[in-house]
């Protein structure tokens, strides 16, 4: 059993703060890490069929070592699981096991499993605690932290959900070793985002070290995941329910979600890939509006392309008016105005609610022509 050291970072929320543990071999130590927060000697594990094969045996051993029972619910893998049908199936499966108010759920998987399990936890018996055990890079640095839960409907992504903070986040770096390169890259896009929002030094570090991180360098992965977790923890603590600064975490997402919706949330484009394209477009829009230097937009696009992330619009999302319509349905619309995260340069993001649709249209038309 690996007894490697791990780092913890605190998310400070009034009365509901929690730790993010980052390191190797955390699943093998799960019993030891969970014991202090469990109110009964069992935890309800929710995962998907793919993750179950790779990660569940390690977690099961770690729980069994501390005599923690772990009823398992396995959902299908993929974004299509984030819907009402699977939420109902999950809740019924959990209720079959007779949970109590003191029961704890554990989400073992990527963003989809984390989102639907967190939502189920917030609804089950009017709210039980849950633990995030994110198994993808994207979930470890972004969706697994901060308490956003949700499912998708025909109207768009994550339009039904709650804020429900986890009690603990277990970011086991060993789980990244089985990730396909494309999934790693999708998560890497969210790491780049933290540099672009307010940490130009981190972006410069990524320009040098990003390829090593993706290739599997343990030290680079550990550093980037920890630095991203600290950034997310700081922002969530300042603005849990996205009334202000937390909205900066949506850099690239207004464009990205519209592109995903245009493609029907299919396997053609992963969320992180859409965010990479969206961040490129957000910097293009910032240049178009005279806010950011063109050299910075070029740097963003160059780095994303260099590691293998897409920066141009996919074939199925090249209808400008449709993209504009989809953006207008975004959760972040206020008084009918689309909120954009723009930048005055790398590491200088800010919120803009007064962007003229014609400026967005011009940027999208340029992107079509590129």
Among 9, 157, 164, 232, the active-site one is 232
Assess whether pLDDT exceeds 70 at residue 52.
yes
Give which of 255, 248, 276 is closest to 350, Cα–Cα.
248
pLDDT above 80: residue 332: no
Quote the DSSP letter at residue 180.
Answer: -
Question: Which residue among 257, 299, 301, 303 is the active-site one?
Answer: 257
Which residue among the candidates 9, 253, 301, 303 is catalytic per the annotation?
Answer: 253
Choose, from 29, 58, 227, 246, the residue flagged as catalytic: 246
250 catalytic, yes or no? yes
- The β-bridge relationship of strands 151-153 and 340-343 is unpaired
Tens of pLDDT, residue by residue over 264-309, are: 888 899 999 999 999 999 999 999 999 999 999 999 999 999 999 9
CATH architecture of 192-369: Up-down Bundle (1.20)
Active site residue 257: yes
Segment 310-336 mean pLDDT:
89
SS3 152: strand
Please report the pLDDT score of residue 157 as a whole number.
82
DSSP run (H or E) holding 21: strand 18-23
Could you state, in order of their start, the residue ranges of all structural domains in the chain?
6-178, 192-369
Is 271 noted as a catalytic residue in this protein? yes
Task: Say which residues have a Cβ less than 8 Å from residue 183's Cβ, sequence separation at least 6.
Answer: 110, 136, 137, 138, 270
pLDDT at 3: 54
pLDDT surpassing 80 at residue 333: no
Mean pLDDT over residues 330-339, rounded?
Answer: 78
Give the pTM. Answer: 0.94
Tell me which of 28, 79, 190, 260 is the catalytic residue: 190
* Residue among 182, 330, 347, 200 nearest 256 (CA): 330
% of the chain exceeding 90 in pLDDT: 90
First to last CA, the chain: 52
Report d(CA 304, CA 37) in Å as an integer.
40
Assign 187 a pLDDT band (cuts: 50, 70, 90).
very high
Considering the candidates 28, 79, 226, 242, report the single residue annotated as catalytic.
Answer: 242
Element (H, E) at 47: strand 44-48
Select which of 24, 58, 148, 303 is catalytic: 148
Task: State pLDDT tens for residues 202-245.
Answer: 999 999 999 999 999 999 999 999 999 999 999 999 999 998 99
Q: Is the pLDDT of residue 56 over 60?
A: yes
Angle between helices 84-96 and 111-123 (to 10 degrees): 60
Residue 142 pLDDT > 90: yes
Pick the CATH number of 6-178 from 3.40.50.1970, 3.30.390.50, 3.30.565.10, 1.10.150.20: 3.40.50.1970
């Amino acid at each position: 059993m690996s007894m490697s050291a791990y780092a913890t970072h605190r998310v400070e929320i009034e009365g509901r703060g929690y730790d993010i543990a980052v390191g190797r071999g955390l699943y093998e130590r799960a019993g030891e890490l969970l014991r202090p927060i469990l109110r009964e000697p069992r935890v309800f594990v929710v995962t998907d069929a793919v993750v179950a094969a790779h990660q569940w045996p390690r977690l099961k051993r770690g729980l069994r070592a501390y005599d923690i029972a772990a009823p398992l619910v396995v959902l299908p893998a993929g974004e299509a699981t984030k819907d009402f049908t699977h939420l109902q199936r999950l809740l019924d499966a959990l209720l079959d096991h007779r949970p109590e108010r003191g029961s704890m759920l554990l989400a073992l998987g990527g963003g989809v499993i984390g989102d639907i399990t967190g939502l189920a936890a917030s609804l089950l018996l009017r709210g039980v605690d849950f633990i995030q055990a994110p198994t993808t890079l994207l979930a470890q640095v972004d969706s697994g932290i901060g308490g956003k839960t949700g499912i998708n409907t025909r109207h768009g992504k994550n339009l039904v959900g709650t804020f429900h903070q986890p009690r603990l986040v277990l970011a086991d770096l060993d789980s990244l070793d089985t990730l396909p390169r494309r999934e790693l890259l999708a998560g890497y896009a969210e790491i780049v985002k933290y540099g672009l929002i307010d940490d130009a030094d981190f972006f410069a570090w990524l320009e040098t070290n990003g390829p090593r991180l993706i290739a599997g360098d343990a030290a680079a992965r550990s550093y980037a995941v920890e630095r991203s977790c600290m950034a997310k923890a700081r922002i969530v603590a300042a603005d849990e329910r996205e009334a202000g600064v937390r909205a900066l975490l949506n850099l690239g997402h207004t464009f990205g979600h519209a592109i995903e919706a245009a493609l029907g949330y299919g396997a053609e484009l992963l969320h992180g890939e859409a965010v990479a394209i969206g961040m490129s477009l957000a910097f293009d829009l910032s240049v178009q509006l005279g806010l950011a230097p063109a050299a910075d937009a070029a740097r963003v696009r160059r780095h994303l392309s260099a590691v293998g992330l897409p920066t141009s619009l996919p074939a199925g999302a090249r209808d400008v008016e449709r993209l504009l319509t989809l953006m207008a349905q975004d959760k972040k619309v206020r008084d009918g105005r689309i909120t954009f995260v723009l930048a005055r340069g790398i590491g200088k993001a800010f919120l803009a609610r007064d962007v003229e649709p014609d400026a967005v249209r011009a940027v999208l038309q340029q992107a079509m022509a590129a």
